[in-house]
Structure 1
Amino acid sequence: MKLLFKQRMFSWFDSYDIYDENENTVYVVKGQLSWGHCLKIFDTEENELGTVKQEVLTWLPKFELYEGENYIGCLEKELGWFKPKYNIDFNGWHVEGDFPGWDYTITKPVGETVATVSKELLQWTDTYVLDIVDPADALHVLMFVLAIDAEKCSAK
């Protein structure tokens, strides 16, 4: 399953539209006013599906993830010299990126790929292609991509 993640050009808060392979909107992400990033994920009928919320008083960037009202895990950046790495407290998943940090892979503990993420260059806004192995993982992969994008935005 492939999803296209596009940031909206003109909005006061982070806002994204997520499209499927046929360019149909699948998810809408709306930023909330808060300390740190707080991103709410909605389906096309405006039902809230999840939240990505940045913890602000941490040494390294850390994001809590909620499916509905239920806490499901977190993403925390690891110290690294050349490649960005993130620990995911969810199903034992792990994220590792390439040198510039534009492309990365989410893997299971045994090394099996959950998803690959590629940033499209030369776009006006942040645009990523998410190639997800199991469509059941789409919402969770989207949450991690949102957290990583927010972390990169905060680092700038």
Structure 2
Amino acid sequence: MSTLLIKQRVFSWTDSYNVYDEGAEPKYLVKADLFSIGKRIRIMDRSSGEEVGMIHQRILTMFKTYEIYLYGQYQGVIKRRLSFFTPNYDIDYRNWTLRGDYFHWDFDIFEGSLRIANISKKLLSFGDTYVLQTARDEDELPALLMAIAMDAAHWSDDN
């Protein structure tokens, strides 16, 4: 089991920030590209400096749509659907589904009936933080990419 801590308002198109492990050590660096066609976020491994993931916004789509890449390979897409009161998403990513409260960022990720991860918003001593817990270590990075893509769809500048 692994745990990652992500500062609230995870996503900013003009910023970079760290994602921390449960020992409060920086594990990933998340950086937004300032100049790209479609908004783009890169996720770097802090220890190696290697790019391990990328989120790229599809342009000219009716709803906010973000492609997810893991080690340069396309993995899937998350699209925000039209909704009036609570956020809704179409997810085509690793055969995963979401259950829970998207609006308050408290939901579980499932693969079939197996719970893969939980993403929740917790009030910690230094402010609101997203806590991402995965049951299997190998799902940590894919779940982080999903959380960042969902946050981008929810909070991007033209919402």
TM-score for both structures, normalised by structure 1: 0.82
Match of 1:95 among 98, 105, 112: 98
> How much does 1:6 deviate?
2.2
Name 1:40's counterpart in structure 2: 42
Structure 1 Cα separation of the partners of residues 56 and 29 of structure 2: 16
SS of residue in 2 equivalent to 1:63: strand
Structure 1 match to 2:65: 62
What residue ranges of structure 2 are gaps of 5+ in the alignment?
none
Shift of 1:127: 2.7
Unaligned regions of 5+ residues in structure 1, if any? none
* Higher normalized contact order (CA 8 Å, seq sep 6+, divided by chain length): 2
Aligned-residue CA RMSD (Å): 2.8
Shift of 1:71: 1.0
Instruction: Tell me which stretches of 4 or more aligned residues in structure 1 moved more than 4 Å.
Output: 79-83, 121-126
Structure with the bigger percentage of strand: 2
- Structure 1: distance between partners of 2:136 and 2:85: 29
Amino acid at match of 1:43: D
Percent identical among aligned pairs is 38
Measured after TM superposition, the shift of residue 37 of structure 1 is: 2.8
Tell whether 2:51 aligns with 1:84: no
Per-residue CA distance 1:5-53 (angstroms, 9 max, x = gap): 12699x8713221111111111111110234431101011211111011
